[in-house]
A and B are shown apart, each in its own frame.
Chain A
Amino acid sequence: MIAAALMLACLAGCGREEKPVVVVYTALDEMFSRPILARFEEQTGIEVQPVYDTEASKTTGLVMRIINEAGRPRADVFWNNEIAQTIVLKQKGLLEPYASPAAEAIPGPYKDPEHYWTGFAARGRVIIYNTDLVDEPPASILDYLDPKWKGRAAIAKPLFGTTATHAAALFALWGEDKAQTFFRDLLANDVAVLAGNATVRDMVASGAYAWGLTDTDDANGAVEDGLPARWQFPDQEQDGLGTLVIPNTVAVVKHAPHPEAARKLVDYLLEPDVERALAEMRGMQIPLNPAVDAPQNVPRMSEIRTMAVDFNVVAAQMESAAAFIRREFLK
């Protein structure tokens, strides 16, 4: 009986290498990445085997898989929906440099000078607010500390996803002391720490909290659903902090089992058509390639005051920022 069951199980794994294959670990939401990858399959005939991340572990779960599998990688390409964890993988020596010709149009700050990773299709960190509860929306992330908002604002747990990157960016920008004080004061002002950015969106839209910090894709979803919510970029005034713009990143995994197909997929993902498609979707990703003609409702990079941070420094801050956050937030 065992033998029969196990043979049955083996059958599931048979015959999977008949046509060219590329394995991609993608942290971008499945509903957005699936059609993009399907089009690659149509165009090239290469079968894409995606592994998606779960919400709870956004990005970091896949990074852990790549680290665990380092001895014999299964993934060919890592398509991350943010940047810091990709740089962490580079620092751990788990990525392969690849200078894609399609990366030439991407601006310098959003690609690795050593070609280990390339950014595309970004999301911005935005303030989402409930229009029934807020007349004058907060303009800065420093408003988290305003007693006016005590117990009425929310933030995602800054240990995962783009919120973790944002926290590390503040550590990089302000230095440890100021950043730690900011987060301690934020907790002292009874800011609600929620499970993820989507939860922040849902809770603000439902009226449980007046405003919160989330990403453009989540915020746009609430607006498209007709919920009583609007969003805006924080800290856009002259000499302001600026908002953190976090690109998707794509990289070839070191010792990838299918390197040729991996490079083809990287080239494809960096094409203007992909950035345009991602901009047209509900996630409303902001194209980094200035030549991409995005829909009118999608913000242009030239119109956003972005936070002036070096992503390599941000990635270097990830561990110390996360250690502090764990200490202070997970008591």
Chain B
Amino acid sequence: MTDRRTPRRVFAGLTLALFAAVCVAPLAALAWRSLFEGGAWHLDAWRAVLAEPRQWTLLANSLTVSLGTAAASLLVGGGAALSLQYCPRLLRAPLGLLLCVPLLIPPYIFAVAWLDAMMRTGLLTPQFVAESVVSPSFGLPSVILISTLSYYPIVLIFTGVALRRFDRRMLESARLIADPLQTFFVVRFPLCAPWVFTGAGFVFLLTLTEYSVPALFQVNVYPVEIFTELSAFHEVGRAAALVLPLLAAGGVVVWAWGRWARPRQRWLSHSGRAVEGMPLGWKRTSLATAGCLGLAGLALGAPLTLLAVRTGTLAQLEAAWSDARQEILTSLLLSVCAATLLTALGFAMAWLARDSARTARLFHWSVVPFLITGPLLGTGLITLWNHPGPALYVFETILVLVLACAAKYLYFAYQGERVALQELHPRPLEAAQVYDIGWIRRGLRVAAPMTAPVRAAIWGFAFILSLRELEATAMLAPPGITPLSIRIHSLMHYGPGAAVASLCLLMTGLLLAAGCGTAVLYFTCRRVFHAYH
């Protein structure tokens, strides 16, 4: 018996060790750096920061941006998902993919495009800029608008998943006794709500820690304040204290998701009888199609057109390509390594957490490195790895950037794997157990192949997030190793808007290619999985 448990213990030990190295150690290093100064522990900086009256303004700004973006994404993404159902069948798939593309593009690229359009002569007239656009643009509404255009596809995807799982027989039964509006509010919405609000929760977390868009539009939110504390005052203690409200707000959302949404997501499972859009007549169908096309135009077409106009010629794009080739390779290498590490560790954690509630609770803490924002995570990693000896092999190479991305996004990979494993039908695993197949082999030979499509999606999502990452890597990038996101930001103000625009277009191209690759991987895995069944 003891022998049979040993491999499981080794697997658990390795997973926990890797989790500690990726997630816990940088946090511990940061805590030590911020609380232990001058040879003694103290909380002075924390007390001073949290007692400042301006914290309320910061909290209000941060919550307004996050809640506003989540709510707007709920409306836009949810509305788009519903509208897609009523579009002509032939257009649904391409329109759906088109509407998801903005998620691939970092919000700062949108912000650059819109700011460029607003501020520069040539694209918009000075009078227009002076009288109507600039004043309202520098504020909360602009941040919410830009962030919504970037993040609404998350809600769209989650709503789409819920609608695909919705058994049309339920809807047909409801329609026998109720009108369409009642059916929507009494049957359809409550059943889809856990999925829809999960998407909105993700949007809330992503905007809560977003630095670039509020910074560009001059809205003082916690990530901007943390960056200011670090870079203008060099105060790690004060900056670390500022993460407490972020942890509280993010923690509430994660807790609410775990308590309310996740258990209810199982209400909808694949029935193979998905709801089709009810026939609405050509007028309403045209309206739904036009709405989707309009959204795609606003969220994707307009910023890309603005960037293309600013880039000017194809020669400029070629010049940007040859100039930034090294940075592109660095970004690709970083993203491949980070996505692979995230997917593997996420699966190992989820498999381990499947049998132990205590372990699952422990792994929930993986959200903390994401919530503390990139600059502080970078500070923790510097404190942890910048020492002579073997640590330098991490700190002086791209590995430190891989660890930064892994720490930042582990929570999402873990939760994705966890949901996939929870939805796994128990019979194949029980059958494997009956045949005396060991715990690790059940995970690797049964559970892993059966959840492969989800893993492909997680890998792609992690790849995209790592490719876009800026805040932590800007703090850590070793000399001579510059990812493309940092290059874009370091060129951003120099005047040659064409250079920045062309690099943004290149980044967009890379992300689109990654998105297509992920889609191909996902559908291939799904086909193989069905064949496996």
Contact = CB atoms under 8 A, between A and B. Distances in A.
A196 B399 CA distance: 33
Contacts of B337: 5-6, 8-9
B340 A2 contact: yes
A226 B344 CA distance: 55
Contacts of B386: 68-69, 71-72, 74
B501 to A, nearest CB: 14
B218 A208 contact: no
B119 A225 contact: no
Given A1-B344, A5-B337, A207-B129, A202 B486 contact: no
B121 A54 contact: no
B130 A64 contact: no
Interface in B321-340: 330, 333-334, 336-337, 340
Nearest to A330: B220
A63 interface: yes
Contact of B121 (A29, A60, A164, A207): A207
Count class of interface residues, chain B: 35 or more
B231 A52 contact: no
Given A5-B340, A8-B336, A54-B492, A326 B228 contact: yes
Nearest to B491: A30
B397 A13 contact: yes
Given A6-B341, A57-B231, A72-B386, A203 B490 contact: no
A67 interface: yes
A86 B29 CA distance: 27
B234 A203 contact: no
Contacts of A69: 382, 386
Contact of B330 (A1, A12, A199): A12
A82 interface: no
A291 interface: no
B493 A196 contact: yes
Interface stretch (B62-70, B78-86, B363-371, B475-483): B475-483
Given A2-B341, A23-B479, A202 B120 contact: yes
Given A12-B397, A51-B477, A74-B478, A57 B379 contact: no
Contacts of B212: 56
Of B129, B220, B232, B233, most A-chain CB atoms within 10 Å: B232
A284 B334 CA distance: 37
A90 B249 CA distance: 39
B523 interface: no
B188 interface: no
A52 B490 contact: yes
B490 A193 contact: no
Given A64-B230, A199-B119, A206-B121, A12 B481 contact: yes
A205 interface: yes
A12 B119 contact: no
A54 B474 contact: yes
A54 B216 CA distance: 12
Nearest to A198: B493
A52 B487 CA distance: 9
Contacts of A326: 228, 232
A331 B54 contact: yes
A66 to B, nearest CB: 10
B215 A195 contact: yes
A56 B234 contact: no
B183 interface: no
A206 B340 contact: no
Contact of A208 (B129, B333, B478): B129
A137 interface: no
A322 B388 CA distance: 35
Interface in A1-50: 1-2, 4-6, 8-10, 12-13, 16, 23, 29-31, 49-50
A56 B215 contact: yes
B313 interface: no
A55 B478 contact: no
A227 interface: yes
Interface in A286-331: 319, 322-323, 326-327, 330-331
Of B129, B234, B396, most A-chain CB atoms within 10 Å: B234
B119 A53 contact: no
B277 interface: no
Contacts of A122: none
A13 B396 contact: yes
B218 A195 contact: yes
Count class of interface residues, chain A: 35 or more
Contacts of B493: 29, 55, 196, 198-199
B393 A208 contact: no
Contacts of A56: 212, 215-216, 227, 489
A10 B393 contact: yes
A217 to B, nearest CB: 9
A164 B340 CA distance: 43
Of A16, A203, A206, A207, most B-chain CB atoms within 10 Å: A206
A13 B126 contact: no
B2 interface: no
Contacts of A319: 233
Given A54-B489, A63-B231, A12 B398 contact: yes
Contact of A55 (B340, B489, B496): B489
Contacts of B127: 207
Contacts of A55: 489-490, 492-493
Contacts of B492: 54-55
A56 B115 CA distance: 15
A2 B490 contact: no
Interface string B463-481: 0000000000011011111
Contacts of B396: 13, 16, 74
A225 B122 CA distance: 12
Given A64-B231, A330-B220, A31 B397 contact: no
B38 interface: no
Contacts of B397: 9-10, 12-13
B399 A225 contact: no
B383 A68 contact: yes
Contacts of B490: 30, 52-55
Interface in B376-415: 379, 382-383, 386-388, 393, 396-399, 402
Which 7 A-B pairs rank lowest in CB-CB distance, beginning with the nearest? Answer: A13-B397, A207-B126, A49-B479, A55-B493, A60-B231, A49-B480, A198-B493
Given A10-B399, A55-B492, A319-B233, 13 more contacts: A4-B340, A5-B341, A8-B333, A9-B333, A9-B334, A54-B474, A56-B215, A56-B227, A71-B386, A74-B479, A203-B134, A205-B121, A322-B233
Interface of B: 54, 57, 119-121, 126-127, 129-130, 134, 212, 215-216, 218, 220, 225, 227-228, 230-234, 330, 333-334, 336-337, 340-341, 344-345, 379, 382-383, 386-388, 393, 396-399, 402, 474-475, 477-482, 486, 489-496
